[in-house]
């Protein structure tokens, strides 16, 4: 039944570009195909070892509580040629390995029983301005959470009416597993700037529909960033473009994350359409965000 419904949705999208928005479906990639001959590979991680390469990544350990759960480095592993960020409920809080060292400099939130997952970034290790950035991955298959591949720099917080000093660029976020059963396998891509308060501004290309199963099959999600625009890709095919607020002119670092819907470390609600989390009825716990590689290219 799911295959039939998915085929019908695909046909409807091809018939009319209006129908996806009317039914809150994702749009098919229909733009140009990325030409990697225009780029050279300058940084990558193929995750071929048995632990996270600390010369390339750091844990976001300075932030323990994250929306409806906790980020903890024990939820991050490298195995079978993949980075794996796990997500599950812990009846006993995990240890904060860094509290004694940093407690006087950073306001740590205490780890408690709750939902745990992980995050890694290249902050203070690797940043790049312009180029093409790509991840190949499988999305976590569970309600109430989402995975993401995104870029940041410290100037995003500046409120000056422009994104040129720094922009959060969400290459993809996977909010829509709750719609998976009837075929709405989608991700969303967008940008944010001028901080995250009342002056916040942003834009989105909307949902992108993935024709194969993003929870059991690998797909690539990419961003081409130049001085004029951001161009988003799914499996090498353009999905949309943005230049709202002006494109960031500063180098940015990479992040791979999973987050739970909710706030103050308590999972709740249906944030961004991720669905309501339930540790007893959802058969998919623990969930996993599985990453085959991350590659960064620069224009030749």
- Mean pLDDT, residues 275-289: 81
Residue 45 has pLDDT above 80, yes or no: yes
Within-domain flag for 212: yes
More confident site: 128 or 10: 128
Give the chain's domain count: 1
- The CATH number covering residue 224 comes to 2.60.120.200
**Quick one: pLDDT band at residue 273, thresholds 50, 70, 90?**
confident
In this prediction, residue 55 carries a pLDDT of 97
pLDDT in tens, 213-270: 999 999 999 999 999 999 999 999 999 999 999 999 999 999 999 999 998 888 887 7
13 within some domain: no
pLDDT at residue number 179: 83
Convert the pLDDT of each residue in 31-42 to its tens digit: 999 999 999 999
Which two structure tokens, joined as six digits, stand for 139?
């999305």
pTM of the model: 0.92
Q: Tell me, yes or no, whether 217 lies in a domain.
A: yes
Q: What pLDDT is attached to residue 275?
A: 84
Lowest mean pLDDT among 65-79, 103-117, 118-132: 103-117
Q: Would residue 82 count as lying in a domain?
A: yes
Instruction: Tell me what pLDDT residue 223 has.
Output: 98
| One-character DSSP codes across 176-211 | -GGGGGGT--EEEEEEEES-SSTT-EEEEEEEEE-S
Q: What's the whole-number mean pLDDT along residues 18-40? A: 80
Q: Is residue 5 part of a domain?
A: no
Which residue range(s) make up the domain with 55? 28-299
**Residue 98 within a domain:** yes
**Model confidence over 86-103: pLDDT tens digits?**
999 999 999 988 777 766
- Split at pLDDT 50, 70, 90, the class of 282 is low
Q: Is 70 exceeded by the pLDDT of residue 106?
A: no
**pLDDT-based confidence at 6, cuts 50/70/90?**
low
Q: What is the DSSP string of the chain?
A: -HHHHHHHHHHHHHH-SSHHHHTTPPBPP-SPBP-GGGEEEEEEE---SSS--TTT-EE-TT--EEBTEEE-GGGEEEETTEEEEEEEEESSPPP-TTHHHHTTTS-PPPP-SEEEE-EEE-TTT--B-SEEEEEEEE----TTEEEEEEEE-GGGG--SS-SSS--EEEEEE---GGGGGGT--EEEEEEEES-SSTT-EEEEEEEEE-SS-TTTS-EEEEEEE-SS-EEEEETTEEEEEE-TT----S-BEEEEEEEESEETTEE-S-GGG-----TTT-TTPSEEEEEEEEEEEEE-
What dihedral do alpha carbons 150, 36, 41, 154 form, nearest 10°? Answer: -30
Q: What percent of the chain has pLDDT over 70?
A: 87
């Amino acid at each position: 039944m799911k295959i039939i419904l998915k085929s019908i949705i695909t046909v409807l999208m091809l018939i009319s570009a209006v129908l996806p928005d009317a039914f809150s479906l994702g749009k098919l990639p229909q733009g140009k195909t990325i030409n990697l001959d225009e780029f050279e590979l300058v940084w990558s991680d193929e995750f071929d070892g048995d632990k996270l390469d600390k010369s390339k990544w750091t844990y976001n350990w300075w932030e323990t509580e994250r929306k409806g759960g906790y980020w903890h480095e024990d939820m991050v592993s490298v195995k079978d040629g993949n980075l794996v960020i796990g997500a599950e409920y812990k009846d006993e809080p995990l240890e904060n390995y860094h509290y004694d060292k940093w407690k006087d400099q950073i306001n740590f939130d205490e780890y408690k029983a709750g939902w745990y997952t992980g995050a890694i970034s290249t902050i203070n290790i690797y940043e790049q301005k312009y180029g093409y950035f790509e991840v190949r991955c499988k999305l976590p298959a569970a309600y109430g959470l989402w995975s993401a591949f995104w870029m940041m720099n410290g100037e995003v917080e500046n409120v000056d009416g422009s994104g040129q000093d720094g922009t959060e660029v969400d290459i993809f976020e996977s909010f829509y597993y709750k719609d998976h059963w009837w075929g709405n396998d989608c991700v969303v891509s967008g940008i944010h700037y001028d901080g995250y308060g009342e002056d916040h501004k942003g834009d989105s290309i909307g949902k992108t529909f993935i024709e194969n199963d993003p929870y059991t099959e690998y797909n690539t999600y990419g961003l081409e960033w130049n001085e004029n625009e951001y161009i988003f890709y799914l499996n090498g095919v353009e999905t949309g473009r943005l230049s709202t607020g002006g494109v960031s002119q500063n180098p940015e670092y990479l992040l791979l994350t999973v987050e739970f819907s909710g706030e103050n470390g308590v999972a709740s609600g249906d944030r961004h359409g991720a669905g309501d989390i339930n540790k007893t009825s959802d058969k998919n716990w623990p969930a996993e965000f599985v990453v085959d590689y991350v590659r960064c290219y620069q224009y030749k």
